[in-house]
Amino acid sequence: MVEGELLIRNGVVYDPINGVNGEKKDISIRDGKVVEEVTNPKVIDAEGRVVMPGGVDIHSHIAGGKVNAGRLFRPEDGRKGRETKTKVCRAQSGYSVPNTFATGYRYAKMGYTFVMEAAMPPLAARHTHEEMVDIPILDNAAMPLIDNNWMTMEYVKSGDTDLLAAYIAWMIKATKGYGVKVVNPGGTEAWAWAKNCDINDAVPYFDVTPAEIVKGLAEATEKFEMPHSIHVHGNMLGHPGNFETTLATYDLVKGIKPYRNRPTMHATHTQFHSYGGTSWRDFESKAGAIADYVNKNEHLSIDLGSIILGDTTTMTADGPMEYSLYQITGRKWTNHDVELETGSGITPFLYSGKSPVNTIQWAIGQELALLVKDPWKLALTTDHPNAGPFIGYPIIISMLMSKRRRDESAEDMHKVIFDRAEYSSIDREYDLNEIAIITRGMAAKTLGLHEHGKGHLGVGADGDVAIYDISPEERDAGKIQKAFLNTKYTIKGGEVVVKDGEVVATPAGRTIFVTPECDDKLTEEMMVKLKDKFDHYYSVTFNNYPVQDAYLPNPYEIKAPWRS
């Protein structure tokens, strides 16, 4: 936030949360916030250019243990993105696993001002926060993994939803996290014994099923006025035929009432969960079946996890999935299981348009966006860096906006794209308003951040603005892609941080965290069980576990009261 006034004049504004669809309109900012009008502002002339609120990424892996393990074991990736330090910018490295500074600069250049780190191992939460502090410009938050957790599984088994709620409240507070993240529920605990689980399998030793874990966590989350629902990476990610598990997962939370008008489940990187076939041989797109479900139901939101062709570094708390991937490629593989809580795996991967499987994956990500009718139900992601690095977003935007570009790309891909995917038969083209929805409006609303100034330009919103150097009439896919990669201006909290595609200022971002407020008595009862875990099983003491305030130099707290 900077003091002073700024006026963005004559831009064509797309602010879908406020129903502004391509109107020529001025945006006034004072002391970092959008206001009705300003009196003596610095003026930016956006004449005829596309103006949107700062981008909001709902799911990206940008900070923490596995991201850094990815950097550490891929010096060859580090070499790819080298840029020399400037008067303003620190030295940059990396393509699929950029260093923290490059992460902030490159997102800002695309007009993004908020990114959600999608998976924080609670025991290593301090690490995630240390890196987030080192990511310039962006506001961010992180979701702790609470699903393969022993406390969670024990409470799910005993059916004590209130105590489970007390536990997740403690955990979100202890990690300075944002909400409940689920990754291969039960499967990652099973992976500690080199096993895996499907949705209705019993987790070894814990005698609960992934289905019960997901349901329990959704019910516990909705005990609070949580800004965001549970955020789910379901079982069987990346396996042919997994769409049935995916649909079954969606159905689990159908009857649960959210605290406000938002979904009860956000299902992430849906591309990886929309697979048909029985093996890689007859692998096919089931984007249609998934989109159909999303179209018919209101309790669910998704993000894409769309593929970017080329080399990347895959990483997830889904340890068994990464092991499967490593077995396919034979490339290097890192694994890091975390006591009582979660795990992770990392392996490099090349998405090739010559591969039939990768071609279908490419098709699925975009098919989902094109077949889900209501853009408010989906967000653009690449599950960075899993389906490809975030700097590929403009490629996906240009594909969604241009049928011609999709046809051209299909010609370059494996011919399977015409047989085992709907890709080439879909005519829909996104307009800029829909792009604004899937790159900021939807994510902000689904995360509940629109109530805290993100993802829109209404009075009181954060002065986060992206000005793209195209006219609203532009139809050339190449020019669209170029414009979305490097803004004319990115403004963060009223300060110009990017000008003509160059980073010109690097203010520190804020860490946004949620404080669920739980009844003392419940917390006290839960604490007995929790302390036993620390006394006997954790390798860190109870008092050394919670993330100290020192790790959040620029905190922003959202309170989540208990629902009476």
Partner 1 sequence: MVEITDVVCSLCGCVCDDIVVEVEDNKVTKVKKGACSVGKSKLMGHGRIESPAIRDNGTLKNCSYDDAIKKAAEILAAARRPLLYGWSSTVCEADKVGVELAEEIGAVIDNTASVCHGPSVLAIQDVGLPSCTLGQVKNRADLVIYWGANPAAAHANHMKRYSYISKGYWTEEGKKNKKLVVVDVRRTATAKMADVFLQIEQGKDYLVFSALRAMLLGYEDVVPEEVGGISKKDLLETVRMMKEAKFGMIFFGMGATHTRGRHNNVVNAIQTTRAAHTHTKFSIMPMRGHYNVAGINQVCTWETGFPFAVDLSRGYAWYNPGETSSTDLLVRRECDAALFIATDPGAHFPGESIRHLSKIPVIQIDPFPNPTTEFADVVIPCAISGVEAEGNVYRMDNIPIRLRKLVDTEYMADEEIMKGILEEVRAIKEKEGE
Q: Which of 44, 2, 48 is nearest to 27 (CA)?
A: 44
What's CA 110's distance to the chain center, in Å?
Answer: 16
Residue ranges of E strands in 186-269: 230-233, 265-267
For residue 551, the minimal CB distance to partner 1 (Å) is 8
Applying CB under 8 A, which part among 96-104, 227-235, 244-252, 504-512 lies near partner 1?
96-104
> Is 336 an interacting residue with respect to partner 1 (CB under 8 A)?
yes
Q: Name the residue nearer to partner 1 (CB basis): 152 or 402.
A: 152
Q: Name the residue nearer to partner 1 (CB basis): 425 or 541.
A: 541
Q: 413: which 2 tokens?
A: 């891909």
Question: In this chain, which of 19, 36, 194, 520 binds partner 1, going by CB under 8 A?
Answer: 194
- Distance in angstroms (rounded) separating the CA atoms of residues 415 and 464: 43
For residue 193, the minimal CB distance to partner 1 (Å) is 5
> Is 171 an interacting residue with respect to partner 1 (CB under 8 A)?
no
> Is 68 an interacting residue with respect to partner 1 (CB under 8 A)?
yes
For residue 323, the minimal CB distance to partner 1 (Å) is 8
Question: In this chain, which of 53, 65, 104, 494 binds partner 1, going by CB under 8 A?
Answer: 65
> Is 73 an interacting residue with respect to partner 1 (CB under 8 A)?
yes
- Distance in angstroms (rounded) separating the CA atoms of residues 23 and 7: 16
> Is 88 an interacting residue with respect to partner 1 (CB under 8 A)?
no
Q: Name the residue nearer to partner 1 (CB basis): 112 or 206.
A: 206
> Is 117 an interacting residue with respect to partner 1 (CB under 8 A)?
no
Question: In this chain, which of 292, 339, 429, 476 binds partner 1, going by CB under 8 A?
Answer: 339
Q: Name the residue nearer to partner 1 (CB basis): 322 or 367.
A: 322
Q: Name the residue nearer to partner 1 (CB basis): 101 or 362.
A: 101
Applying CB under 8 A, which part among 129-137, 159-167, 378-386, 445-453 lies near partner 1?
129-137
> Is 324 an interacting residue with respect to partner 1 (CB under 8 A)?
no
- Distance in angstroms (rounded) separating the CA atoms of residues 61 and 207: 31
For residue 224, the minimal CB distance to partner 1 (Å) is 27
For residue 74, the minimal CB distance to partner 1 (Å) is 7
> Is 536 an interacting residue with respect to partner 1 (CB under 8 A)?
yes
> Is 340 an interacting residue with respect to partner 1 (CB under 8 A)?
yes
Strand order of the β-sheet with 230-233 is 181-183, 230-233, 265-267, 300-303, 378-379
Applying CB under 8 A, which part among 60-68, 141-149, 171-179, 226-234 lies near partner 1?
60-68
Largest CA distance in the chain: 67
With H, G, I as helix, E, B as strand and everything else as coil, classify residue 35.
strand
Question: In this chain, which of 92, 274, 301, 487 binds partner 1, going by CB under 8 A?
Answer: 92
Say how many C-beta atoms besides its own lie within 10 A of residue 240's C-beta. 18
> Is 41 an interacting residue with respect to partner 1 (CB under 8 A)?
no
Question: In this chain, which of 93, 96, 152, 359 binds partner 1, going by CB under 8 A?
Answer: 93
* Contact between 372 and 438 (Cβ < 8 Å): no
> Is 406 an interacting residue with respect to partner 1 (CB under 8 A)?
no
> Is 84 an interacting residue with respect to partner 1 (CB under 8 A)?
yes
Task: Verify cis geometry, omega within 30 degrees of 0, for the bond prior to 385.
Answer: yes
Q: Name the residue nearer to partner 1 (CB basis): 459 or 540.
A: 540
Question: In this chain, which of 548, 553, 555, 563 binds partner 1, going by CB under 8 A?
Answer: 548
> Is 544 an interacting residue with respect to partner 1 (CB under 8 A)?
yes
- Looking from the CA of 233 toward its CB, the CA atoms found within 13 Å total 31
Question: In this chain, which of 123, 180, 447, 449 binds partner 1, going by CB under 8 A?
Answer: 123
> Is 538 an interacting residue with respect to partner 1 (CB under 8 A)?
yes
Burial-class residue 510 by CB neighbours within 10 Å (0-12, 13-18, 19+): buried
- Distance in angstroms (rounded) separating the CA atoms of residues 560 and 557: 10
For residue 334, the minimal CB distance to partner 1 (Å) is 4
DSSP 374-398: -GGGEE---TTTTSS-GGGHHHHHH
For residue 336, the minimal CB distance to partner 1 (Å) is 6
Sign of CA dihedral 99, 103, 109, 113: negative
- Distance in angstroms (rounded) separating the CA atoms of residues 442 and 486: 22
- Distance in angstroms (rounded) separating the CA atoms of residues 357 and 354: 9
- Distance in angstroms (rounded) separating the CA atoms of residues 546 and 125: 9
- Distance in angstroms (rounded) separating the CA atoms of residues 153 and 155: 6
For residue 412, the minimal CB distance to partner 1 (Å) is 31
Q: Name the residue nearer to partner 1 (CB basis): 86 or 471.
A: 86
Q: Name the residue nearer to partner 1 (CB basis): 315 or 444.
A: 315
- Distance in angstroms (rounded) separating the CA atoms of residues 377 and 441: 10
* Contact between 186 and 179 (Cβ < 8 Å): no
Q: Name the residue nearer to partner 1 (CB basis): 67 or 165.
A: 67
- DSSP state at residue 271: G
Sign of CA dihedral 466, 446, 179, 297: negative
> Is 189 an interacting residue with respect to partner 1 (CB under 8 A)?
no
**Interface residues with partner 1 (CB under 8 A)?**
63, 65, 67-69, 71-75, 78-79, 81-85, 90-94, 97-101, 123-124, 126-127, 130-131, 134, 192-194, 323, 326, 332-340, 343, 346-347, 536-541, 543-544, 548, 550-551
